[in-house]
A and B are shown apart, each in its own frame.
Chain A
Amino acid sequence: MKMKWEEPRIEVQKFIPNEYVAACYRIRCTTPKGNSSYNYIYADSNNNGVWDSGDQQIHSARYGFRGCNQWHKGVILDEPPTANGFVTTGTSPNAPKVQSESVFYWYENLGYQYEDIHVMTPGNENYESNPNAS
């Protein structure tokens, strides 16, 4: 039986070089003000750079937490770490005496003795690009 003739057709798939290169950073996990103790971490959910009622709480520690003070060698980011959340001592942005500071937070599992969430204070020179780490 003869085959059906189809119009000759070639699909061309161009290889487009991927110019996006994620950078790798070496970051030390510390909370602001010399690794002070805080009780909560909020994501800047509404991206307005201000801790307010639109932000979601992502971590809490009743008796406080500090940074694990470890250098994290392979944190892969598109750009240098910038603030994406807040550490606070309370849950209400408008309550008196509640302290809050902007932080960059990320998740990483370093073993059972550490929390999986880590923070640093942007602009605090606690990070450096580390291209050979990843």
Chain B
Amino acid sequence: MKEYKKPEFHFVRNPDGLSGSELAKLSDDELSRYLRDNRYLQEKKKYRINPNFILREIAGEYAIVPVGSDNTFSNAMMAPNHTVVFLWKEFEHASTIQDIVIHAMEIYDAKEEKIRESVDKFVKEALNYQVLEEAE
């Protein structure tokens, strides 16, 4: 018997910048190697918000409140700007960085490189402070 998994799909950036048609031309072995490449596996990682933090909206203002007792910010409240609020809501469900970049490009007037750079930085720092965690 196989375990049932809820269907989901995510965007994953091609670390080598290969187009779809170029990927399609790869042999099975080449594609298999490509998919096992460390850079591709990095891009495939999904992240989600650590449940020890919650985002609250109070009179139009947002606040991130730590609800766990053993985290770095147990005696703090955090005031996010609207970009963080967007990222937070996106990462409430396990998402890849590319998921976020694609969605942000639909909403925000900014170049992909700029958004990616910001999201990469946010993910790195949020992981460091355990606000974000890797999802299965």
Partners in one complex: yes
Binding site for B on A (CB under 8 A): 1-17
Chain A contacts for B81, CB-based, 8 A: 6, 8-10
A8 contacts B109, C-beta separation under 8 Å: no
Chain A contacts for B121, CB-based, 8 A: 8
Which of A4, A7, A11, A15 is the one whose CB lies under 8 Å from B75? A15
Chain B contacts for A6, CB-based, 8 A: 81-83
B87 contacts A12, C-beta separation under 8 Å: no
Chain B contacts for A1, CB-based, 8 A: 109
Give a binary string over B102-119; 1 marks a CB under 8 Å from any A CB, 0 the rest.
Answer: 001001111000110011
User: Looking at chain B, what size class is its interface with the partner chain?
Assistant: 20 to 34
B108 contacts A10, C-beta separation under 8 Å: no
Which of A3, A5, A12 is the one whose CB lies under 8 Å from B73? A12
The 21 listed contacts between A and B (C-beta, < 8 Å) are A2-B108, A3-B107, A4-B109, A5-B109, A6-B81, A6-B82, A7-B118, A8-B80, A8-B81, A8-B87, A8-B118, A8-B121, A8-B122, A9-B80, A9-B83, A10-B79, A10-B81, A11-B80, A12-B73, A13-B79, A15-B75
